[in-house]
Amino acid sequence: MKRHRLEAWLSHHSTVIILAVPLLVIAAITDLLAGSLLIRLATAMFVSMIIVIGMQVFMGNSGILAWVHVGFMGIGAYIASVCSMTPQMKAIAIPQVYPFLLNIHLPFWPSILVGSAVATVVAAAISYPLMRLSDAAAAITSFALLIIIHAVLVHWDRVTNGPRTLFGIEEYTTLWISVVCAILVLIVAYFFKESSLGLRLRASREDYHAASAMGINITQVRYFSFLISAAIAGFGGGLFAHYITSFTPDAFYLIETFNILAMLVVGGPLSISGAVIGTVLVTVAREGVRAIENTINLNHLLPFEVIGLTEVFLATILILSLILRPQGIMGSRELRWKPKKNMDETNKAK
Partner 1 sequence: MIVFEFLINAISLGSLYALIALGLVIIYGILKMVNFAYGELIMIGGYLLYLVGLNTNIPWLIVAVIAVIGAMVVSYFTELVAFRRVRVKSLTALLITTFAVSTLLQNGALLVISPRAKAVALPQIFSTSISIFGVGTPVRNILTIVISISMLIGLTILFRYTILGIALRAAADDFQMTRMLGVPANLVISSAFVISGAIAGVVSLFWVGRTASVTPTIGQGPLLIAFVATVIGGMRSLVGAVVGGFVYGVIFSFIGVLLPQVLLDYREAFMFLIVILILLWRPEGLVKVKYAEERVG
For position 230 contacting partner 1 by CB under 8 A, the verdict is no
Which of 314, 334, 335, 346 is close enough to bind partner 1 by CB under 8 A? Answer: 314
For position 20 contacting partner 1 by CB under 8 A, the verdict is no
For position 213 contacting partner 1 by CB under 8 A, the verdict is no
Backbone angles phi, psi at 303, to 5 degrees: -65, -10
For position 338 contacting partner 1 by CB under 8 A, the verdict is no
> According to CB under 8 A, which residues from 289 to 308 bind partner 1?
306-308
Considering only the stretches 80-88, 207-215, 216-224, 311-319, report the one whose residues sit in contact with partner 1 under the rule CB under 8 A: 311-319
Which of 155, 336, 338, 348 is close enough to bind partner 1 by CB under 8 A? Answer: 155
> According to CB under 8 A, which residues from 85 to 144 bind partner 1?
129-130, 132-133, 135-137, 139-141, 143-144
Q: Closest CB to partner 1 among 102 and 154?
A: 154
Considering only the stretches 12-20, 46-54, 195-203, 310-318, report the one whose residues sit in contact with partner 1 under the rule CB under 8 A: 310-318
Residues touching partner 1, count (CB under 8 A): 43
Interacting residue ranges for partner 1, rule: CB under 8 A = 59, 63-65, 129-130, 132-133, 135-137, 139-141, 143-145, 147-148, 151-152, 154-155, 254, 258, 261-262, 265, 269, 306-309, 311-312, 314-316, 318-319, 322-323, 326
